[in-house]
């Protein structure tokens, strides 16, 4: 059963997503549905290497803005 979902996104992101979905010949709804299926899939073969690396990264993490600032300082200074 299909159910309606409302998302609030930056206007630029929506425009990019619409262009991307149009190029692929898919509706934006189809694209979003596929994305959620992939990221919630337990089959690693369906997940891109980047998503595999990031999947579960933040789960139960105690990370805040100061951690991000510290990371950037260590990386770039």
Q: Is 48 helix (H, G, I), strand (E, B) or coil?
A: coil
Supply the DSSP string of 17-44, one letter for each residue: HHHHHHHHT--HHHHHHHHHHHHH-S-G
Predicted local confidence at residue 11, as pLDDT: 92
pLDDT of residue 45: 60
CA angle (13 as vertex; 9, 16 as ends), nearest 5: 145
For the chain, the domains span 11-76
pLDDT of the residue at 25: 92
- 66 Cβ contact list (under 8 Å, min separation 6): none
| pLDDT value at residue 55 | 64
pLDDT tens digits in sequence order for the chain, 77 residues long: 888 889 898 999 999 999 988 998 999 999 888 888 877 776 656 667 777 666 666 666 677 778 878 888 888 88
**What count of residues does the chain have?**
77
């Amino acid at each position: 059963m299909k159910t309606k979902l409302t998302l609030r996104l930056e206007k630029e992101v929506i425009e990019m997503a619409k262009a991307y979905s149009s190029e692929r010949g898919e509706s934006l709804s189809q694209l979003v549905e596929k994305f959620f299926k992939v990221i919630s899939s337990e089959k690693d073969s369906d997940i891109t290497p980047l998503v595999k690396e990031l999947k579960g990264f933040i789960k139960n993490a105690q990370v805040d803005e100061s951690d991000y600032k510290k990371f950037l300082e260590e990386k770039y200074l």
